[in-house]
Structure 1
Amino acid sequence: MRPIPTVPVLAALLGPLALCALLLPTRGHFANTNVALLLVAVVVAVAISGRQLAGALAAVTAALWFDFFFTRPYQTVDISKSADLVTAGLLLAVGLTVSQLAARARHYRMVAITGADHLSRVRGAAVLARSANSALTVVDHVRAQLTDLLQLSECSFEYGSLLGHPPRLEADGSISVGGQPWDTDRLGLPPEAVELRIFGTGKYLGRFMLTGTPGTVPSHQARLVATTLADQAGAALDSLQRPVKAA
């Protein structure tokens, strides 16, 4: 399962409260609309650094603490002035909207960065496959790339015939266990080692055995890149060493 984002959640709960406590001495001398704008800034900071859920939680807690400390009657959740009611409602609405936009922008930025990293890995393996004079060099490079890419605790390579029926990472990035699909996006890699087969000119050459790290969930994109890296290793092995065919 995915790890619970503890730090962003704590920031969402405590950040608005800390700002309200800091501004409390200025109550009555500092416009409530300015307080609300500062609280929106806290919501944005939480959403950018954490997940969308944390940003939404920050928006809700910001509205509650604004109501509790800065609207009359104080230290209650009641609001007596219509202007304060509008401000609190806008704070919640704007906070939720901005947190969603900030989290989405962070997601797109991470996708762009991750995509560039994945492309670099594939290019590096392709260049090495064309230039290396040893099949072992290519296999070791791809094994290291797979370990980092999929956050594996262990990765090994086996030449030759298939043994057993371990879970398998398929070409489409899915994983099957005993012929049944495995919910990798929720559960991560299966607890036992997963095979990633490699082929050359239509024949089986060997497989990487992938042992996941508990608590990590390799993305579907990362799993697709892993199969592409395996294809590069297969092409190199086919042209450089040509291992014995599987029985």
Structure 2
Amino acid sequence: MTRSVSAWPSATWWRPAVRVAAVLTPLVVCAILFTVRDQVTAATDVLVLVLLVVAAAATGDRLAALLAAFSAGVWFDFFLTEPYLRFVIADAEDIEATTLLVVISLAVTEIALWGYRQQGREARRSGYLEGVLGAARAVAEGTTPAKTVVDVVARQITDVLEADDCRYVAGPVGDVRFAVLDHDGVLTRNGRPVDVDRIGLPVDEYVAIPVRRGAEVVGYFLVTAVSHAVFPTREQRRFAVLMAHQVAALGSSA
């Protein structure tokens, strides 16, 4: 199954632990920098704290990064601006430095998270392509039983669409109530397009992905997504259709 790069470890303590660290680490670092404040410039202090925010953003958790940015600004004010050890800033340059710290931290957070999302997208795309190529290879070699190929494709479609279940049904789509996913990734229901990006896949009805051999529909994959709302992208939907079409080459043995 293809996982998002931003997926967290399964341990339930991990996310809260990262967020607690995002709050406490700037406190500890600012306290250390306070002891050497005469040897370190304010610009260096800001860079060190920005690095901490980057580290928090690298986890892929926006809240952790925002907490780190807020904590860095607060403790920079408390430890590293005059009057020291008070939440007061008397010097205009210190006010500017604190403001820049927070603004830069927030900007870096968004840039880091954007890069994280792009990396996740590329990983998912690579996984989808591997699935399609694997199915095509199994069909071309002809050594894998048709039922096994169909089962593998069904699992891949389930994963790509983040659905609950998927199974193959031989023959044309017989129920007009089914929503139908076409080769362009467009979902239609009762002849009308469904805005999947906004409302997700139907939770009250099946989604059918027809398998065509030429103009003939030889079967279809029946997708169920009833336990939770899912919003597969147009690209994900097109990959699902592409994988379903691999079954057409199996002939009547499917």
Both proteins in one fold, TM over 0.5: yes
The CA deviation at 1:160 is 1.6
Residues 64-103 of structure 1 correspond to what in structure 2 (within 5 A)? 64-73=74-83, 74-76=85-87, 78-103=88-113
Aligned residues of 2:185 and 2:241 also touching (Cα < 8 A):
yes
Aligned CA-pair RMSD:
3.2
Structure 1 counterpart SS, 2:126: helix
Letter in 2 for 1:107: R
- Who is 1:160 aligned against? 171
Q: Distance in 1 between matches of 2:51 and 2:71?
A: 13
Matches within 5 A, 1:77-156: 78-132=88-142, 134-156=145-167
Q: Deviations over 1:49-99 (max 9, x none)?
A: 2256764564345324433554345543x4211231222122123212322
Q: Count the aligned residue pairs.
A: 235
Work out which of the residue numbers 7, 10, 28 in structure 2 matches 1:22.
28
Q: Distance in 1 between matches of 2:90 and 2:171?
A: 78
1:227-246 aligned at under 5 Å gives the runs 227-236=241-250, 240-241=251-252
Range 19-28 or range 39-48, more displaced: 19-28
Q: Assess if the C-alpha contact under 8 Å between 2:26 and 2:52 holds in 1.
A: no
Q: Provide closer, same or farther for how the CA distance between residues 145 and 24 of structure 1 changes in structure 2, counting only shifts above 3 A.
A: closer
Offset of 1:9 from its aligned partner?
Answer: 8.7
1:93-143 deviation line (CA, Å, top 9, x unaligned): 321232232222222322222222111111111111222364323322211
Give yes or no for contact 2:23–2:67 (8 Å, CA) kept in 1. no
Stretch moving more, 9-18 or 165-174: 9-18
Aligned mate of 1:226, from 218, 234, 240 = 240
Deviation sequence 1:179-213 (CA, Å, 0-9, x none): 33333234432213211111101111111111125
- 8 Å contact 2:135–2:152 — kept in the other structure? yes
Distance 2:131 2:77 in 1: 51
Q: Which amino acid aligns with 2:92?
A: S
TM-score, normalised via structure 1 length: 0.78
Cα distance in 2 between the residues matched to 1:87 and 1:42:
16
Amino acid at match of 1:202: A
Structure 1 gap ranges (5+): none
Cα 1:207–1:219 shift into 2, 3 Å: same
The secondary structure found in structure 2 opposite 1:241 is helix
2:201 and 2:229 in contact (8 A); partners too: no
Partners of 1:99 and 1:224 lie apart in 2 by 32
Give distance in 2, aligned partners of 1:179 and 1:54. Answer: 45
**Paired position in structure 2 for 1:182:** 194
| AA in 1 matched with 2:231 | V
The change in CA–CA distance for 1:43 and 1:174 in structure 2 (over 3 A counts) is farther
Distance 2:99 2:151 in 1: 58
Decide whether the 8 Å contact of 2:53 with 2:65 is kept in 1: yes
Following TM superposition, by how much is the alpha carbon of 1:215 offset from its aligned partner in structure 2, in angstroms?
A: 4.8
Identity of aligned residues (%): 29
Relative to structure 1, is the Cα distance of residues 172 and 51 closer, same or farther in structure 2, using a 3 angstrom cutoff?
farther
Shift of 1:157: 1.3
| Distance (whole Å) between structure 2 residues aligned to residue 37 and residue 179 of structure 1 | 57
8 Å contact from structure 1 (residues 171, 227) kept in 2: yes
Which deviates more from structure 2 when the two are superposed, residues 213-222 or residues 145-154? 213-222
Deviation at 1:15, TM superposition (A): 4.3
Are the counterparts in 1 of residues 178 and 189 from structure 2 also a CA contact under 8 Å? yes
The question of 1:200 aligning with 2:213 is answered yes
Aligned-partner Cα distance in 2 for 1:235–1:116: 23
